[in-house]
Amino acid sequence: MKITHFFRILLSIISSLILLLSLISLPAYANSAISIATTSYGPGTTSNVGVTLTGFDQTQNYQVTVKFINSTTNVDVTNGTLAATQGSTSLISGYTSYSATKLGFSGSYSAIVAALSSLTWNPSSASGDISMRIGIATKPGTNEFYDANSGHYYRYVSTSATWTGARTASEATTLFGMRGYLAELTTAAENSFVGNETDASNIWIGATEDSGTATAFTGSSYTGAVGQRWIWQGAVETPLPTGSGVSAGNTNNVHSTVTNRALTSNVATLTTSAAHNLQVGDNAVIANVLEALNGTYTITDVPSTTTFRYAKTTSDVASTAVSSSDSATAGVFSSWSSNEPNNDRKPGQDCAVTNWGSTGKWNDLPCDNSNAYLMEFGGRSGETTTASITTLTTTVTAVTPAAPGAPTLNSVTAGDKRLTIAFTAGNTNASAITDYEYSLNGGAYVAAGTTTSPFTITGLNGRSAYSVTLKARNSLGLGSASSSLSATTTNAALDASEAAAAASSTSGPTKKQPKMVLTVEITTLLWLETTPIRLVGGVESGTVTYQNSGDTLCVVDSKSNLLVTTTPGICIITAVNSGDFEYIWEQSNEIKITVTTQASVITETKSVKEEKSVVVEQVENIPKMEHKVTFGQSAAWLNTKNIVALRNFISNAEEKIEIEKIVIKGFEQPTKIALPNIDIARANAVKKFFKLEGIDYPIVAIGAGKAKTGKPESSRIAIVIIEGKSKS
- Tell me the per-residue pLDDT of 652-679, one tens digit each, with 9 for 90 and over: 888 888 888 888 888 887 765 556 778 8
What would the mean pLDDT of 426-444 be, rounded to a whole number? 91
List pLDDT tens digits, range 355-410: 998 889 998 888 889 999 999 999 888 899 999 999 999 988 888 888 999 999 99
173 touches 196 (CB < 8 A): no
499 touches 591 (CB < 8 A): no
Helices (H), 434-582: 492-504
Looking at the predicted structure, is the pLDDT value of residue 634 above 70?
no
Range with the lowest mean pLDDT among 129-133, 168-172, 331-335, 439-443?
331-335
SS3 (DSSP) at 116: helix
Residue 378 pLDDT: 92
Looking at the predicted structure, is the pLDDT value of residue 106 above 50?
yes
Beta carbons within 10 angstroms of residue 525's beta carbon: 18
- Whole-number mean pLDDT of the chain? 74
List pLDDT tens digits, range 675-725: 677 888 888 888 888 888 888 888 888 887 787 766 666 678 888 988 888
Q: What is the largest CA-CA distance in the chain?
A: 136
Residue 445 pLDDT: 96
Strand partners, 451: none
* Dihedral sign computed on CA atoms, order 310, 315, 316, 318: positive
What DSSP string describes 167-224? HHHHHT-EETTEEEEE----SHHHHHHHHHH---SSEEEEEEE-TTT-----GGG---
Residue 518 pLDDT: 39
Residue 313 pLDDT: 54
Q: What is the 3-state secondary structure (H, E, C) of 640-700?
A: HHHHHHHHHHHHHHHHHEEEEEEEEEEEECCCCCCCCCHHHHHHHHHHHHHHHCCCCCCEE
In Å, how far are 507, 574, 575, 592 from 526, measured between CA atoms? Answer: 27, 12, 10, 14
Q: Is omega for the bond preceding 341 within 30 degrees of 0, making it cis?
A: yes
Residue 235 pLDDT: 84
Residue 269 pLDDT: 76
Q: What DSSP state is assigned to residue 355?
A: S
Looking at the predicted structure, is the pLDDT value of residue 252 above 90?
no
3-state helix, strand, coil in the chain (%, to 5): 15, 40, 45
